[in-house]
């Protein structure tokens, strides 16, 4: 008896190899899907590994069961078979293939950087960054860059790898873009985003900073006629800060309000919160902002939002051409990787972090260095 292992791209190819090598009476003893190449289970190719034997009676094979008998039938395909029979066999093989593929793709998620060719020093950073829920392809991209840029001896050095990963994270975060006020400019800044993320509170914090600390002329525009109490909320902040609050109910109305506020350095527009699934509401906000043509539009998202939901939000709001992100509620999470994912998904720039409910104190200009440090577990204080 001869036993041999064959590796092929798919079952058909394996069976063909076995048949030409061992003859039509060959028997399959074992099949499995394996992954070859790739990094962290990404980009690896699924192959089939088949152990076959000849010179044994099929009925005596200890491994023969329904799954293998299907394969055996395919091996002994030399005997005449009808078209329908071949199709059945093909379909069953397809199902078996999918089952095994799923099983293996789940297992390969666990592969570590060192198993896939990176220095073992990367393993603990990978664990940290994956726990922070940074997109796995982005982690791989960061590690690739670090591996390319570090000298071979530094790739074994924990501190050198830490610093290189941190610098790469900082460069991935990119430029920070808070509100910049030019002298004599009548800046019009709008805030959009899902319900309850902290748009109105953030506007109050920014209004206070610019009006009280920077002594700029600041005004607010309330456009949310939808949620009960939304306009009153902004009015209350306006009264506390002693700055005007205009209330608008139409695209026409907002143009007139802006005309009245021409002499102000900064006009902040609050919009109604909208679920990413409410396309009509998002269209309404877009039409309002199109009528205004603001200097800047800031998307406000909460750091507590799940990755998949952030992706939905950004995709749904993409038609409103925002480029800047404010991330709120950093005080309510310890998973900071989603912030970096959001920046990449939006292809935008971070501007502010908000870190609590206190107006005006709980806001700060975002920092790429701080975010990179928090992702790597350096400083978790917000
Ligand atoms: N912990 C924490 N809470 C915050 C932060 N920012 C805002 N909040 C709270 O989040 C809640 C909602 O804030 P709002 O400013 O009303 O949110 P919004 O996005 O304007 O909500 P809608 O207008 O209803 O869409 C309030 O209780 C705020 O105090 C933050 O940075 N941290
Ligand atoms: Mg609001």
Instruction: Determine the residue of 195, 198, 339 to mutate for testing ligand 1's pocket, defined as the one with the most ligand atoms within 8 A of the Cβ atom.
Output: 198
**Could you tell me if 158 and 64 lie in one domain?**
no
DSSP alpha helix (H) spans, the chain: 11-22, 66-75, 83-108, 122-131, 136-149, 158-173, 199-208, 230-241, 251-260, 279-292, 307-317, 337-346, 368-375
**Could you tell me if 147 and 246 lie in one domain?**
no
Average confidence (pLDDT) over 74-99: 58
Please tell me the total count of domains within the chain. 3
pLDDT, residue 296, reads 96
DSSP alpha helix (H) spans, 209-278: 230-241, 251-260
**Could you tell me if 135 and 89 lie in one domain?**
no
Q: Which residues contact 98 (CB under 8 A, 6 or more apart)?
A: none
pLDDT, residue 72, reads 40
**Could you tell me if 207 and 344 lie in one domain?**
yes
**Could you tell me if 231 and 337 lie in one domain?**
yes
Task: Give, in order, the Cα–Cα distances in Å from 228 to each of 220, 224, 231, 233, 281.
Answer: 18, 9, 8, 10, 16
In a domain, 180, yes or no: no
**Could you tell me if 133 and 246 lie in one domain?**
no
- Which DSSP state fits 224? -
**Could you tell me if 213 and 71 lie in one domain?**
no
**Could you tell me if 220 and 302 lie in one domain?**
yes
Give the chain's radius of gyration (CA, Å): 30
Distance CA 367, CA 4 (A): 59
pLDDT, residue 379, reads 64
285 lines ligand 1 (CB under 6 A): no
Residue-wise pLDDT for 299-338, tens only, equals 999 999 999 999 999 999 999 999 999 999 999 999 999 9
Considering the chain, what is the average pLDDT of its residues? 86
329 lines ligand 1 (CB under 6 A): yes
pTM greater than 0.75 (yes/no): no
Q: Whose CA is nearest to atom 13 of ligand 1?
A: 198
**Could you tell me if 225 and 143 lie in one domain?**
no
Pairing of strands 45-54, 2-8: antiparallel
Residue-wise pLDDT for 23-64, tens only, equals 888 888 777 878 766 655 566 677 888 888 887 654 444 444
CB burial of 11-37 (b: ≥16 within 10 Å; e: otherwise) equals beebbebbbeebeebbbbbebebebee
155 lines ligand 1 (CB under 6 A): no
Distance CA 50, CA 7 (A): 6
**Could you tell me if 143 and 57 lie in one domain?**
no
In a domain, 179, yes or no: no
**Could you tell me if 9 and 146 lie in one domain?**
no
- Which DSSP state fits 19? H
**Could you tell me if 125 and 269 lie in one domain?**
no
Residue-wise pLDDT for 193-234, tens only, equals 999 999 999 999 999 999 999 999 999 999 977 777 888 999
In a domain, 381, yes or no: no
In a domain, 59, yes or no: yes
Task: Print the domain residue range for 276.
Answer: 187-375
């Amino acid at each position: 008896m001869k036993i041999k292992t064959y590796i092929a791209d798919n079952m058909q190819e394996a069976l063909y190899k076995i048949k030409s090598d061992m003859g039509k009476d060959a028997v399959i003893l074992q099949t499995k899907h394996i992954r070859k190449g790739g990094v962290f289970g990404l980009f690896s190719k699924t192959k089939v590994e088949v152990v076959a034997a000849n010179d044994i009676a099929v009925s005596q094979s200890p491994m023969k069961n329904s799954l293998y008998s299907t394969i055996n039938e395919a091996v002994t395909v030399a005997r005449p078979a009808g078209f329908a029979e071949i199709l059945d066999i093909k379909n069953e093989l397809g199902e078996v293939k999918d089952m095994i593929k799923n099983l293996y793709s789940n297992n390969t998620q666990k592969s570590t950087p060192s198993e896939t060719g990176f220095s073992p020093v990367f393993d603990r950073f990978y664990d940290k960054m994956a726990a922070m829920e940074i997109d796995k392809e982005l982690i791989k991209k960061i590690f690739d860059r670090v591996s390319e840029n570090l000298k071979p001896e530094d790739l074994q050095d924990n501190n050198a790898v830490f610093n290189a990963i941190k610098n790469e994270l900082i460069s991935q975060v990119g430029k920070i873009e808070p509100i910049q006020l030019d002298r004599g400019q009548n800046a019009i800044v709008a805030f959009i985003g899902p319900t309850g993320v902290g748009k109105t509170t953030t506007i109050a914090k920014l209004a206070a900073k610019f009006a009280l600390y920077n002594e700029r002329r600041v005004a607010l525009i309330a456009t949310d006629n939808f949620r009960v109490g939304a306009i009153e909320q902004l009015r209350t902040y306006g009264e506390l800060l002693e700055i005007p609050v205009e209330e608008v109910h139409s695209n026409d109305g907002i143009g007139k309000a802006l005309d009245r506020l021409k002499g102000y350095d900064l006009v902040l527009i609050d919009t109604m919160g909208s679920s990413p699934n409410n396309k009509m509401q998002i269209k309404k906000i877009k039409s309002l902002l199109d009528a205004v043509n603001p200097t800047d539009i800031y998307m406000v998202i909460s750091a507590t939002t799940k990755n998949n939901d952030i992706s939905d939000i950004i995709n749904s709001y993409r038609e409103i051409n925002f480029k800047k992100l404010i991330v709120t509620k950093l005080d309510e999470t310890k998973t900071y990787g989603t912030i970096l994912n959001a920046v990449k998904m939006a292809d935008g720039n971070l501007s502010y972090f908000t870190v609590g409910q206190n107006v005006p104190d709980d806001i700060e200009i975002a920092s790429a260095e701080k975010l990179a440090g928090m992702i790597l577990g350096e400083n978790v204080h917000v």
